[in-house]
Structure 1
Amino acid sequence: MYSRASAVLFIALCCAGPASANSIGTEHEAPYEVCALCHSLDGNSRMAKFPKLAGQPAPYIEKQLYDFLEGRRTNGGGQMAAIVTEISTEDFAEVAAWFASQTAPAPNDQGDVGAGEAAFRQLGCLSCHANGQLEDGTPHLTAQHKIYLKKQMTDFRDGRRDNDLGAIMRSAMTGISDAQIEDLASYLSATQRGTP
């Protein structure tokens, strides 16, 4: 048998209406926390599909956010095009600064990387991607997920990604073989940030 207190509680709950996601209270959530589900809060994503953002130059990160928002860049599944709409453009700089300030990732152990290092130097990649001497809009490639690197290089080569300034990456990847991309990705993912 129900008590009078139980009946009052039951009526109060019924009258309260259904809960919504907005009632959880995300108003105090930092904008970069939206990105943490895929990229981890410290920017060192655990899944190879999602790039490590920790220690990347803030201008590069901010440009990618705008490029996804404005349709200049896409990704498989369209997750980024959707998720950037959940962040105010006024907060893009804060998001970029947060991930730029995080500790750079450790390299991955990918075995023999000699062929990739030779290709990296011969293809002139150092002119833009020399660690510690990056232009504002150029990302670090070292200590990144190998699978992610391979996909981005292949996408530039095959025309599926075209948000590079001045078509620099599309030009650099022209004529590059799958084997060379494999070697480059192996070398870069296994290389400590700060070198070469």
Structure 2
Amino acid sequence: MKIILNVPYEEKDLVKALHGRWDGKSWYIPEGVDYHPFRKWIDPKTYQSLEAPLNIDDLLLQYKKTVSPALGSFQTIVVIGDVCRVFSGENNKQVFTYLDLTNSPNAKPCISIRIDQKIDVPLDIRVKVTGILSVHNGNLQIRASEILPIDEPTVFKRTLAQWESDYPPITNLQKKKVGIRFNRIGVIAPKESAGYNDFITLI
């Protein structure tokens, strides 16, 4: 985006020192140069629009403009991740399988993998994927040429192991000591609360 500046003649050297450019008609900020030091020469409405947060559509548009051309120079890449979603289907006689990979213990997908065939891939497995990186519908996607399982615990298994370590099962002796019946539901609420008696009757 080319940002036009309102620069008095006596201040042109200041703008030039900040890497502002002259196009024969007006001074402007070239792409890739921080606009903040030029604030005094930017129209207030223009500056306000620059500071406004992007909505999702604008963000995706910017993402495509900046990332998509760069991806054109990418060759084969290799990633390692944990499978958190598998979807197979058929479209116009083409069969495919999509995998979502993650490195997050809450299974938030990080990148999508497309395989141009129908394959069975179990969930909660770590894989090494080789393929071409691209942008599809505004999201990063790898068109896989090779998928290999890795004999390592996934982030989910490590998380479950940590939970089991942090919260070991309660023994019968502990239950007796605590004096709580674990097959009942406890309610913490004032007796005069609306619906309290109905709830107690139901349980």
TM range (shorter): under 0.3
TM-score (norm 2): 0.24
Which has more radius of gyration? 2
Decide which structure has greater strand share: 2
Q: TM-score normalized by structure 1?
A: 0.24
